Structure 1
Amino acid sequence: MTPGSNLPLSAVRVAVDVTAPVRLDVSGLLLAADGKVRSDDDFVFYNQPSAPGVTHSAAAAGGDTITVDTAAVPEGIDKIVVTASLDTPGATFAGTEPTGTVRNADDGSVLASFTPPRLGTETALVVVEIYRRGGAWKVRAVGQGYANGLAGIATDFGVSVEEPATPAAAPQAPPAPPAPAAPWGPPTGAPAPVAPPPAAAPTAPAPAPAPPAPAPGSGKVNLDKGRVSLQKNQTVSLVKGGRPVLSSVRMGLGWEPAFQGRSIDLDASVIAYGPDRKKVDNCFFGKLMILGGAIQHSGDNLTGEGAGDDEAITVHLGGLPPEVTGLVFVVNSFSGQKFSDVAKAYCRLLDAQSGEELVRFDLTHAEPRTGVMMAKLIRQFSGEWEMTAMGEFVDARTVRGMTKPAAQAL
């Protein structure tokens, strides 16, 4: 299987073996329609080896097995995700190729196998998911990486993980936020979270304290307090009150003519990628609609003159095909002028229906280059979208030249 692919299950009981050259901790999470566990009892791992329809069993070496009896899974559960984390604290998956093998649990025959590609700083993975679709059960290859271990996966899906207490005499370092990495690893420029100690047994959920405000240029915020002004490398989750706030967004990009008063022809584009970092399609002035109308471009602005957005790209998030997991918004200087000659440039995200501005990123300290990656939108495994301000410059006058650097920045 390849990332994002799926297959129907021909067996009622399936076993998912996750193996690697090193010791792995394998777990399964039973998720309801909201993408969360109903309680910590839905987290199946070595210390809690069973839940309705799902069991964990340890292997002699390499990895463990999650067995799913689809006939016994409760009606309120839509999917079971199978995860793997490294047993050695601080270790990453770089150079390690874990493989998930899906077998008929009754006769041992192999139904599917999947090895996530190009792993690096990830310390935990969602390997595959077993899910309901139209009254039947299917398996999907996922391969989503997390940079903060099993605790990052568990908390992302609603499990409360109790961390061991720090000895009183030891100085306490500020903990890294439990933000999941993109399907391809942590965002470019973001500090790599420190891998947590092995996850302890789940405890009863407790009300979480309000998170501190993120430091400038880092961390992740949401829209609970209204419009957000981002700094470079800062991420905003497009949710409010724990729920996605909109189904269609408009990315407006603007700039002013060069300081000397000459007009400048900048072109705004968006490149859509799959979970394997391969380009699915791109939308620009020469291709104003892609993906069946899910992404639409407003048309070319040749000068930058006039108030407001010079070019806009509308994205109907609900209409994007499942294989699109990342969007990178870029601007290029088709006329060859450098961004250091642009008076100012910005991008802003608006609710496409109400026109309300949600997020703004004003680009400062421009470099003498002809292309810039302004922002990226990444679909999280839970279905939410996150926007990260980028401001990364490259030498490229057209969107074609942005394809490779934008993929590397995901």
Structure 2
Amino acid sequence: MTPGSNLPLSAVRVAVDVTAPVRLDVSGLLLAANGKVRSDDDFVFYNQPSGPGVTHSAAAGGGDTITVDTAAVPDGIEKIVVTASPDAPGATFAGTEPTGTVRNADDGSVLATFTPPQLGPETALVVVEIYRRNGAWKVRAVGQGYANGLAGIATDFGVSVEEPAAPAAAPQAPPAPPAPQAPPAPAGQWGPPAGAPTPVAPPAAAAPAPGSGKINLDKGRVSLQKNQTVSLVKGGSPLLSSVKMGLGWEPAFRGKSIDLDASVIAFGPDRKKIDNCFFGKLMILGGAIQHSGDNLTGEGAGDDEAITVHLGGLPPEVTGLVFVVNSFTGQKFSDVAKAYCRLLDAQSGEELVRFDLTHAEPRTGVMMAKLIRQFSGEWEMTALGEFVDSRTVRGMVKPAAKAL
């Protein structure tokens, strides 16, 4: 099978073996029509090996198996998604070719095989899905990678990831000034996310510590640190309206102007560039992405350049956007102060997410942030803050593709 292809299932009970040269953690999620699990009972993995019509077991030839008895799957379940991630902490799929083999669970005959192509920095993967269509069951090859592990997939599909409960206050204890929080204990694979939010003074909203699990927009504005991710979901619904990425900077030395250029590069699922929007091309993708125009000095308050993205109007082949800033005149980012990017609701002007660069390097380009469309249809924003040597957006394409 190839990515996106599907086949009808000729067996009532099917087994999906996922194998690789390295040890994998394999799971199955039962999804309703809204693309979410009904409860955590619909998440099947090695620590919870059975669910309604779905079981997890070790494959006879190595790897893990998710077995689906389509006759026993509840009526409200539309699909079963089979996922995998490397067992070793922090490992990616680079150099690894996992294979999903779909078999008749009763006689062992092979119905289909699928090896996702071009894997690299992904730490988790949706391999295949078994889905119901007009009363019949089919299998679809997916191959959608994630950068934040199986916990990220679980969160996207509605598995609850609970935050640690706050300790109870001592009775009748006088109020005390807040103290810095100690780092939380490491979380289990499906336990609380490492790095619970730390309260800060308004107006900045709480954000998890570096390396922690995803958060959403329900608590208001999110301040990201490098490599942190926020899911663009508010009130349980994905944000699909127009958003504006504002990018700003100030000269590090008074009286010295600095000319930086903000751009966005649109990528497809194969990490191939589809188009880029910059000061020389102010509109792309039929107007779904628009640039505000060039700022030549960086002087003045507020965003220096802004790029508006209508998320709901992006073509389906666009799965990733990387926002970059370059110094066309060759000035280094060590001459820049207060570089930042912020995501706003384009209609209300409400600031949703902010990322401030806390350090600079004597280089001419920086990847500020990326927006990634998830398999569930939601978008995620991840703060990057990665410096490279490039004076134009053209030179940013390869490093941006690697950052997806």
Q: TM-score higher than 0.5 here? A: yes
Alpha-carbon distance change, 240 to 200 in structure 1, aligned in 2, over 3 angstroms: closer
Alpha-carbon distance change, 85 to 223 in structure 1, aligned in 2, over 3 angstroms: closer
Q: Matched residue pairs, number?
A: 398
Answer with 67-76 or 396-405: which moved more: 67-76
8 Å CA contact 2:245–2:343 kept in 1: the answer is yes
Q: Unmatched 5+ residue regions in structure 2? A: 179-184
8 Å CA contact 2:204–2:222 kept in 1: the answer is no
Provide the C-alpha distance between the structure 2 equivalents of 1:61 and 1:200, rounded to a whole number of angstroms.
47
Alpha-carbon distance change, 265 to 217 in structure 1, aligned in 2, over 3 angstroms: farther
Alpha-carbon distance change, 18 to 41 in structure 1, aligned in 2, over 3 angstroms: same
Answer with 399-408 or 316-325: which moved more: 316-325
8 Å CA contact 1:326–1:376 kept in 2: the answer is yes
Alpha-carbon distance change, 162 to 311 in structure 1, aligned in 2, over 3 angstroms: closer
**2:191 match: secondary structure:** coil
User: Identity over the aligned pairs, expressed in percent?
Assistant: 92
Alpha-carbon distance change, 131 to 312 in structure 1, aligned in 2, over 3 angstroms: farther
CA offsets 1:302-348 (integer angstroms, 9 cap, x no match): 33344432321111212223333321100111222222333443221
Provide the C-alpha distance between the structure 1 equivalents of 2:177 and 2:374, rounded to a whole number of angstroms.
16
**1:28 match: secondary structure:** strand
Alpha-carbon distance change, 153 to 171 in structure 1, aligned in 2, over 3 angstroms: farther
**1:256 match: secondary structure:** strand
Q: Unmatched 5+ residue regions in structure 1? A: 203-214
Alpha-carbon distance change, 221 to 175 in structure 1, aligned in 2, over 3 angstroms: farther
Alpha-carbon distance change, 57 to 392 in structure 1, aligned in 2, over 3 angstroms: closer
Question: 1:14 offset after TM fit, Å?
Answer: 5.5
Alpha-carbon distance change, 175 to 277 in structure 1, aligned in 2, over 3 angstroms: farther
8 Å CA contact 2:163–2:196 kept in 1: the answer is no
> Who is 1:28 aligned against?
28
CA offsets 1:103-126 (integer angstroms, 9 cap, x no match): 577998766532234556766532
> Who is 1:217 aligned against?
211
8 Å CA contact 1:314–1:352 kept in 2: the answer is yes
Provide the C-alpha distance between the structure 2 equivalents of 1:184 and 1:278, rounded to a whole number of angstroms.
33
Alpha-carbon distance change, 190 to 244 in structure 1, aligned in 2, over 3 angstroms: same
Provide the C-alpha distance between the structure 2 equivalents of 1:63 and 1:224, rounded to a whole number of angstroms.
38
8 Å CA contact 1:145–1:183 kept in 2: the answer is no
Provide the C-alpha distance between the structure 2 equivalents of 1:263 and 1:149, rounded to a whole number of angstroms.
43
Answer with 165-174 or 12-21: which moved more: 165-174
Provide the C-alpha distance between the structure 1 equivalents of 2:188 and 2:272, rounded to a whole number of angstroms.
15
Alpha-carbon distance change, 223 to 29 in structure 1, aligned in 2, over 3 angstroms: closer
8 Å CA contact 1:230–1:359 kept in 2: the answer is yes
Alpha-carbon distance change, 171 to 409 in structure 1, aligned in 2, over 3 angstroms: farther
Alpha-carbon distance change, 22 to 270 in structure 1, aligned in 2, over 3 angstroms: closer
Provide the C-alpha distance between the structure 1 equivalents of 2:175 and 2:84, rounded to a whole number of angstroms.
22
Answer with 348-357 or 36-45: which moved more: 36-45
Answer with 127-136 or 74-83: which moved more: 127-136
8 Å CA contact 2:49–2:57 kept in 1: the answer is yes
Provide the C-alpha distance between the structure 2 equivalents of 1:398 and 1:187, rounded to a whole number of angstroms.
38
8 Å CA contact 1:19–1:99 kept in 2: the answer is yes
Question: 1:390 offset after TM fit, Å?
Answer: 2.1
Provide the C-alpha distance between the structure 2 equivalents of 1:102 and 1:177, rounded to a whole number of angstroms.
58
Alpha-carbon distance change, 28 to 199 in structure 1, aligned in 2, over 3 angstroms: farther
Answer with 376-385 or 350-359: which moved more: 376-385
Provide the C-alpha distance between the structure 2 equivalents of 1:142 and 1:182, rounded to a whole number of angstroms.
27
Question: 1:267 offset after TM fit, Å?
Answer: 1.6
> Who is 2:200 aligned against?
194
Provide the C-alpha distance between the structure 2 equivalents of 1:299 and 1:193, rounded to a whole number of angstroms.
37
Question: 1:357 offset after TM fit, Å?
Answer: 1.3
Alpha-carbon distance change, 6 to 143 in structure 1, aligned in 2, over 3 angstroms: same
Provide the C-alpha distance between the structure 2 equivalents of 1:292 and 1:172, rounded to a whole number of angstroms.
63
**1:14 match: secondary structure:** strand
Provide the C-alpha distance between the structure 2 equivalents of 1:348 and 1:360, rounded to a whole number of angstroms.
4
Question: 1:392 offset after TM fit, Å?
Answer: 1.7
Question: 1:278 offset after TM fit, Å?
Answer: 2.5
Provide the C-alpha distance between the structure 2 equivalents of 1:284 and 1:181, rounded to a whole number of angstroms.
42
8 Å CA contact 2:205–2:222 kept in 1: the answer is no
> Who is 2:92 aligned against?
92
Question: 1:280 offset after TM fit, Å?
Answer: 2.7
TM-score calculated relative to the size of structure 2: 0.73
Answer with 12-21 or 374-383: which moved more: 12-21
Within-5 A mapping of 1:227-376: 227-245=221-239, 247-256=241-250, 259=253, 261-376=255-370
**2:401 match: secondary structure:** helix
Answer with 9-18 or 170-179: which moved more: 170-179
Answer with 132-141 or 262-271: which moved more: 132-141
8 Å CA contact 2:126–2:145 kept in 1: the answer is yes
**1:220 match: secondary structure:** coil
Question: 1:241 offset after TM fit, Å?
Answer: 4.0
CA offsets 1:235-272 (integer angstroms, 9 cap, x no match): 33323344335522110112345735354332211112
Alpha-carbon distance change, 46 to 402 in structure 1, aligned in 2, over 3 angstroms: closer
Alpha-carbon distance change, 222 to 184 in structure 1, aligned in 2, over 3 angstroms: closer
8 Å CA contact 1:367–1:393 kept in 2: the answer is yes
TM-score calculated relative to the size of structure 1: 0.72
Asked if 1:181 corresponds to 2:175, the answer is no
Alpha-carbon distance change, 118 to 273 in structure 1, aligned in 2, over 3 angstroms: same
8 Å CA contact 2:267–2:273 kept in 1: the answer is yes
Provide the C-alpha distance between the structure 2 equivalents of 1:173 and 1:78, rounded to a whole number of angstroms.
52
Alpha-carbon distance change, 107 to 62 in structure 1, aligned in 2, over 3 angstroms: closer
Alpha-carbon distance change, 332 to 171 in structure 1, aligned in 2, over 3 angstroms: farther
Question: 1:402 offset after TM fit, Å?
Answer: 0.3
Question: 1:30 offset after TM fit, Å?
Answer: 1.1
Question: 1:398 offset after TM fit, Å?
Answer: 0.9
Answer with 258-267 or 245-254: which moved more: 258-267
8 Å CA contact 2:15–2:66 kept in 1: the answer is yes
